[in-house]
Amino acid sequence: MATDQARLKVAFIGLGVMGYPMAGHLQQKGLQVCVYNRSSAKASQWVQQYGGLQAATPAAAAVDADLVMLCVGNDQDVRSVVYGTDGVLSTMKAGAVLVDHTTASADLARELAAASASQQLGFLDAPVSGGQVGAQNGLLTIMVGGEQTDFEKAEAALGCYARSYQLLGAAGSGQLAKMVNQICIAGVVQGLAEALHFATQAGLDAKAVLAVISKGAAQSWQMENRGTTMVEGQFNFGFAVDWMRKDLGITLDEARRNGAQLPLTALVDQFYAELQAQGGGRLDTSSLIKRFQS
């Protein structure tokens, strides 16, 4: 049975575009939340908006917490808030669960699971999908790796900002599933970019074409939510090219280890690298269409 959310004490580490609203949902749903952010001004802003508490270090935030949730940038960022005298492992109480929402490597997830177990702590790798809008609206999808007992302890909190969350296997499984997610997105966005480029070159009204084909077998979330904005040249919808390249790099590294063949993913990664070289690293991932417009 999932833990009663009203009794949960939560430390939330990392208040970026995803973590800020996610932590806000926890506080608004009645959980007791203490936040830490590398920029203390951002944490102070969060407290002013939502209430809750602010800590000066990750370790201070984690004191007496039932759940310690991380949402930072990459593997090294995670290690910087987990280990050492200021890291959360130095103060977490036995039986608490460390939940990492960062999109990171499966190797890191297994490392953190072992480190947590050595201190009688649980661990879940729980990367999210749904972007900034999904975080703001509490409609994220969460792919989880870890033990069933730890998952049950965290369910009440996960449900505060997710419409779907599922335990997929042992530690690392969540990160591997997020890689599957990013492989799918890369291929769909590139296909949509090519299709819209073709429509334009053929002299068609691209928006009219979208209105028709989005009702058929070509329909996708990307088409429904990004097709028109791609035609209009709007690329300010959250998840940036820089972050997608980080995720695809992790995915391609994992593929080299497990023998998976990802020719399309590798090609789209190169296309995103071109956008970075043109100064488009902060544009959202639908900006792949810009390659055809230069």
Q: How far apart are CA 27 and CA 126, in angstroms?
A: 19
**How many other C-beta atoms can be found within 10 angstroms of the C-beta atom of residue 125?**
34
Q: How many CA atoms lie within 13 A of 53 on its CB side?
A: 16
Closest residue by Cα to residue 174 from 255, 261, 110: 110
**Chain CA centroid to CA 64, Å:** 26
Q: How far apart are CA 18 and CA 20, in angstroms?
A: 6
Q: How far apart are CA 55 and CA 68, in angstroms?
A: 13
Q: How far apart are CA 17 and CA 282, in angstroms?
A: 13
What b/e sequence results for 98-114 when a residue is b if at least 16 CB atoms lie within 10 Å of its CB, and e otherwise?
bbbbbbbbbebbbbbbe
Place of tokens 């070509």: 218
- Residues labelled catalytic: 178
